Structure 1
Amino acid sequence: MRMMLPIGMLLGMMGLITPSSRADETTPLTEMNARFRAIYARAGSLTLKPDSPVILLEGDDLVLLHHGERKVERAIPKGYHDRKAISHLPLGLVVLLNEVGPMGLTDADRTDLTEIRARAEAAQRYLPKLGWTGDLLARQEKIFAASIAFIDRALQKGAPPAAEIQQFARDMAPLVMSNAAESTALQIDGMHSIVRKWQKAMPPEEWKKLTVVIVGAQMPRKGNLATQYFAKLLNEPGEGRRIIYAESLWEEPKALRLLATHRVDRKVAVAFFNDDERMHRDLLDDAAKDYLAHFDWNK
């Protein structure tokens, strides 16, 4: 059984069609190009072959599309999000106070700080319910105590100077990064337990055809944890042939649409250039480098 996902190709993703690619008039050339676009769109109907599995990371979930079935398992545990939420407290304070204007705290700023303080105290009281002990619990208590004290200082004396904000951030950084290190282990261990289970249930020849689509935001794309994990697992250099980062494509059909684009591009790149990665960069890349190397900037 094949899973058919008819789609209209996102031509802009491969750089062939951009928002400004339009003609002022209809000519035989524009009509020919319109026909090309229709053919390209039709080529983008994504067919998931039964023996070519796809794994998607969508938020907290790993999704396996294989043999016409869709399996979903939660990969990122609650402990990851608990540490993340606590770490966001000092990060949020630095963001807020760094944006205070020359006139000092506004009424809206004071309202934000007061509300954050109330929520921080409530979260601090919730800590014992997490069952954390030792260094883990002590670290969170330090974050809460320092953050609440910093809020009180701002409410009483006004916006802290930049040097004080920076010192607060530097004091919090080791605690935040310790939380980040533990969250990293939780996410990777969670993903790996699921992926290994799926791998063991899959014939080796089908596993070799696996493609991974990671749905994520723009900022964490560089050095992305999931990309690093799957690159190690599949012995790939990173994004490319078997690992695709679907930036800000939060709906599964859109992420699969990007996968279709990559597959079409790869075939075109091999046909024209004998390089399956060539269409994953601007077609004008090499020519632009050559032209700019000798460009007369004074003309």
Structure 2
Amino acid sequence: MQSDPFGEINATFRTLYGENRKEVFASTPLAATTLIGTGEIWRIEHGEVVKSYPPTPWLSRIKSLMHAVIGTQASCARLARRKDIESARLAAHRLKAALEEAVSLLSSELPEELKSPAKIVLSRLLQLSAHWSAGQTATLAEFSEALEQVRGELEKIIAAVGEEVYASIVKGLRALIEETDPGVWETSLFCVCGVAFGRRDNVEIAAAMSVMGEDSVGTRLLYLENAHDLPQAMTCLAAALADRDLGAGVFGDPYRMWRDILGDVAARHVGKGFFPALGRDR
């Protein structure tokens, strides 16, 4: 295979950018981040986590329930698809064991008002997995019908979790601001980090918006994609900070690099900017 001199040159340029990104992060007095669904905020000073503003403890446990729904739907889909039935049957056995453990653990971890709804949902999922692991046929219609029977309980749990995450973000962000010099806070970024396919109507963005104001969205309040843990979140945050400097230095617009570099051409063809719209006119 022939070497690509332009590829090697570009790799050098990207390496130079990466080295600067680390220094930008290390020289930034304050930034903060949260991971979707956790309700926890991390305070970052000069590239290092210095403090956590923790959420209600049971939030980290309740995620198991939604993951149980996701895992059950996925197992049902694989069994119904019958592409690799042997592997799918083994997965059904693993699902059943995990659901049994979740039922026993969550009953003691959740607040009283959520214990019964959680047990009802998990027990219904466990019933499905028991049928599948015993060799019964799985269909997507069966899964949908089973979830419809417990949808009221599931929605009650989701609503309670959403309210608790919202309250935790508001409380943590206000505490962070109270402990910060106003001049430092005015230029700080608060980043919500999560999956690559960004969720609309994100509850963490809404909570932070209630504290920071709607105009902060896209300028100081950002959703950073493809960050599933704190190290990944900090890497994405460092890139956002470095790109802010790059946009200001090259284009005189700190938000320019938060758009596609070819975004002006795209907007011209479409006739306007379009989703996702990041940054605002200064």
Deviation at 1:38, TM superposition (A): 8.5
What residue number does 1:261 align with?
242
What residue number does 2:93 align with?
114
Identify the structure with bigger relative contact order (alpha carbons < 8 Å, sequence gap 6+). 1
Q: Which amino acid aligns with 1:225?
A: V
CA distance in 1, matches of 2:141, 2:47: 58
- Against the structure 1 CA distance between its residues 91 and 174, is the aligned structure 2 distance closer, same or farther, given a 3 Å change threshold? farther
Deviation at 1:264, TM superposition (A): 1.7
Residue 100 of structure 1 aligns to a residue in which SS? helix
Structure 2 residue 216 is the aligned partner of structure 1 residue 243: no
Matches for 1:67-78 after TM superposition, within 5 Å: 70-78=49-57
Runs (5+) with no aligned partner, structure 1 = 1-20, 294-299
**TM-score normalized with structure 2 length:** 0.73
What residue number does 2:181 align with?
203
Structure 2 residue 149 is the aligned partner of structure 1 residue 171: yes
CA distance in 2, matches of 1:210, 1:195: 12
CA distance in 2, matches of 1:80, 1:35: 44
CA distance in 2, matches of 1:121, 1:111: 16
Q: Would you say the 8 A contact 1:84–1:183 is kept in 2? A: no
CA distance in 2, matches of 1:35, 1:123: 49
Q: Which amino acid aligns with 2:183?
A: E
Could you say which structure has the higher helix fraction? 2
Runs (5+) with no aligned partner, structure 2 = 272-282
**TM-score normalized with structure 1 length:** 0.69
- Against the structure 1 CA distance between its residues 131 and 79, is the aligned structure 2 distance closer, same or farther, given a 3 Å change threshold? closer
What residue number does 2:109 align with?
130
CA distance in 1, matches of 2:115, 2:260: 50
Residue 99 of structure 1 aligns to a residue in which SS? helix
What residue number does 1:190 align with?
168
Identity %: 16
- What is the CA deviation profile of residues 87-113 of structure 1, one whole-angstrom value per residue up to 9, with x for unaligned ones? 322332111111225558833333332
CA distance in 1, matches of 2:15, 2:90: 55
Structure 2 residue 33 is the aligned partner of structure 1 residue 56: yes
CA distance in 1, matches of 2:5, 2:203: 39
What residue number does 1:7 align with?
none
CA distance in 1, matches of 2:53, 2:34: 10
When the two structures are aligned, how many residues end up with a matched partner? Answer: 262
What residue number does 1:12 align with?
none
Deviation at 1:230, TM superposition (A): 1.9
Matches for 1:1-299 after TM superposition, within 5 Å: 23=6, 44=21, 45-46=23-24, 52-57=29-34, 60=38, 61-66=40-45, 70-101=49-80, 103=82, 106-130=85-109, 132-133=111-112, 135-156=113-134, 158-237=136-215, 239-249=217-227, 250=229, 251=231, 254-268=235-249, 271=252, 276-288=254-266, 290=268
Residue 214 of structure 2 aligns to a residue in which SS? coil
Deviates more, 1:169-178 or 1:91-100: 169-178
Residue 50 of structure 2 aligns to a residue in which SS? strand
- What is the CA deviation profile of residues 224-277 of structure 1, one whole-angstrom value per residue up to 9, with x for unaligned ones? 332222223211346422123332344265234213333224414752xxx543
Across the aligned residues of Structure 1 and Structure 2, the Cα RMSD in angstroms comes to 3.8
Residue 96 of structure 1 aligns to a residue in which SS? helix
Bigger Rg over Cα: 1
Residue 153 of structure 1 aligns to a residue in which SS? helix
